């Protein structure tokens, strides 16, 4: 089976490519390298011991995509390509809608032209907005508080409409909670551009000495210690969820919407403590104002993924921190070598 992985050079994509190749899938990576380094591909090649087919192109370009679909008989697409910074999406909404929404529309059009109608889409827990209760089930109300989140909601709806128009489509919408961690080798991992937006890379860069201290965004939430609670999920567990989805996609007779989370929530301070233990480094922090748009608590009910994908996360918080630390300490400046 030949799988096109859009955004396959990125953080989650590169880890998924490793598992796909190890499981015997033929993979074509498609990426415009707007938020990835070619070094990540070389590292993946070293891990799997094989050369990877990579096509540099943009999902908004019919020509770029047509080149791929005419050169390779693609059976299914795992669609990671997209922009993902919430703050940036507020400042540049049109860029986000163009890249994430328009790009997905063009991708589906070209897929349809070449009769490739199986897609796994990277959605996000952000589509639940500020949930009334936790754990979060797939049928909870949806809302978006920023253009990034709205772009995910829009693509989910577009894909459902595509299915209504043509029942041959096989669609899986995976709603990720908070991906962290890295491959065991420590040679691939998350390499944010500039100042990290997300907690885990910020903690890791503080532990390695690149940042002076972590700003904890608020300590007066209604949580165990007042700091925000999230469902951190190891990126390799997340990647495995895609393989399980791919394996079963032919059997799904309607679009499937599935949470990928662990079901456990950890506070910011619990994450700091776990990281200090894993790295044997201090992570100095200061309490700062709440970040606009943040919610107190977000964690998944992952039971539907267990039921329909036979998938559950197996890696705990210690392993997430140890693997992040291995990547960060071996690559203090990310892929820039
Ligand atoms: P990433 O930025 O590391 O990977 C995305 C990849 O897509 C990058 O390699 C980038 O160069 C590529 N890309 C972007 N726009 C493109 C375009 N127009 N054409 C071709 N390639 C393009 O991000 P990630 O963390 O690996 O996230 C992958 C997907 O998962 C994204 O869609 C993201 O929105 C979604 N997601 C991520 C998280 C998270 O916290 N990391 C959470 C929920 C959902
Ligand atoms: N936090 C800090 N300091 C930081 C960064 C984060 O205290 O420097 C806190 C946040 O306030 C929050 C927690 O750490 O309580 C996690 O924050 P992240 O930014 O790592 O993650 P979010 O849950 O806010 O958002 C992430 C992605 C979104 C995605 C969402 C749900 O960034 O794109 O998960 O999947 F939509």
- pLDDT at 216 > cutoff 70: yes
How far is 158 from 121, CA to CA, in rounded Å? Answer: 11
Assign 337 a pLDDT band (cuts: 50, 70, 90). Answer: low
Domains detected in the chain: 2-182+232-262+299-313 (3.40.50.720)
Verify whether ligand 1 is closer than 6 Å to residue 84 (CB atom): yes
* Catalytic hit among 25, 148, 221, 335: 148
> Residue 225: is its pLDDT beyond 90?
yes
Residue 120 has pLDDT above 70, yes or no: yes
In this predicted model, what pLDDT tens digit does every residue of 91-108 receive, in sequence order? 999 999 999 999 999 999
Burial class (CB in 10 A: 0-12, 13-18, 19+), 75: middle
Is 221 a residue of the active site?
no
Ligand 1 proximity of 9 Cβ (cutoff 6 Å): yes
pLDDT at position 51 over 90: yes
Residue 334 pLDDT > 70? yes
- Residue 52 banded pLDDT, cuts 50, 70, 90: very high
Gap from CA of 209 to ligand 2 centroid (Å): 21
pLDDT in tens, 25-46: 999 999 999 999 999 999 999 9
pTM of the model as a whole: 0.98
89 lines ligand 2 (CB under 6 A): no
Upstream peptide bond of 135 is cis (omega within 30 degrees of 0): yes
Residue 212 structure tokens: 């002076």
Q: How far is the CA of 309 from the centre of ligand 1 (A)?
A: 23
pLDDT band at 275 (very low <50, low <70, confident <90, very high): very high
Using alpha carbons, select from 145, 286, 133 the residue that is nearest to residue 219: 286
Confidence of residue 245 (pLDDT cuts 50, 70, 90): very high
**pLDDT at 118 (0 to 100):** 98
Beta strands at 266-267 and 229-230: parallel, antiparallel or unpaired: antiparallel
The per-residue pLDDT of the chain, averaged, comes to: 98
Residue 78: pLDDT band (50, 70, 90) is very high
- pLDDT for 235 equals 99
Q: Is 143 helix (H, G, I), strand (E, B) or coil?
A: strand
- Copy the structure tokens of residue 105: 């529309």
Given pLDDT bands bounded at 50, 70 and 90, which one contains residue 336? confident
pLDDT at 91: 97
Residue percentage of the chain with pLDDT more than 90: 99
């Amino acid at each position: 089976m030949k799988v096109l992985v859009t955004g396959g050079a990125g953080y989650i994509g590169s880890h998924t490519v490793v598992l796909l190749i190890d499981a015997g899938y033929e993979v074509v990576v498609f990426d415009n390298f707007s938020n990835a380094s070619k070094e990540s591909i070389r590292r993946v090649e070293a891990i799997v011991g094989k050369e990877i087919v990579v096509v540099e192109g943009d999902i908004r370009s019919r020509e770029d995509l047509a080149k791929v679909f005419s050169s390779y008989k693609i059976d299914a697409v795992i669609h990671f390509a997209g922009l993902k910074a919430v703050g940036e999406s507020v400042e540049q909404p049109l860029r986000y809608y163009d890249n994430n929404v328009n790009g997905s529309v063009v991708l589906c059009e070209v897929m349809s032209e070449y009769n490739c109608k199986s897609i796994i889409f990277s959605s996000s827990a952000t589509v639940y907005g500020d949930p009334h209760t936790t754990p979060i089930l797939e049928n909870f109300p949806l809302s978006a508080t920023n253009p990034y989140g709205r772009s995910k909601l829009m693509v989910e709806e577009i894909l459902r409409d595509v299915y209504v128009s043509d029942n041959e489509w096989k669609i899986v919408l995976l709603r990720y909670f908070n991906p962290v961690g890295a491959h065991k080798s420590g040679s691939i991992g998350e390499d944010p551009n500039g100042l990290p937006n997300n907690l885990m890379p910020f903690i890791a860069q503080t532990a390695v000495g690149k940042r002076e201290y972590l700003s904890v965004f608020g300590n007066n939430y209604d949580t165990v210690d007042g700091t925000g609670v999230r469902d951190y999920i190891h990126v390799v567990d997340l990647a495995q969820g895609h393989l399980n989805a791919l394996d079963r996609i032919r059997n799904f007779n309607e679009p499937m919407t599935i949470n990928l989370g662990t079901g456990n929530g950890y506070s910011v301070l619990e994450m700091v403590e776990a990281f200090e233990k894993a790295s044997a480094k201090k992570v100095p922090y200061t309490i700062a104002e709440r970040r606009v748009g943040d919610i107190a608590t977000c964690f998944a009910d992952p039971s539907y993924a267990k039921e329909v994908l036979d998938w559950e996360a197996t890696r705990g918080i210690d392993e997430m921190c140890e693997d992040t630390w291995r990547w960060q300490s071996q690559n203090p400046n990310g892929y820039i070598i």
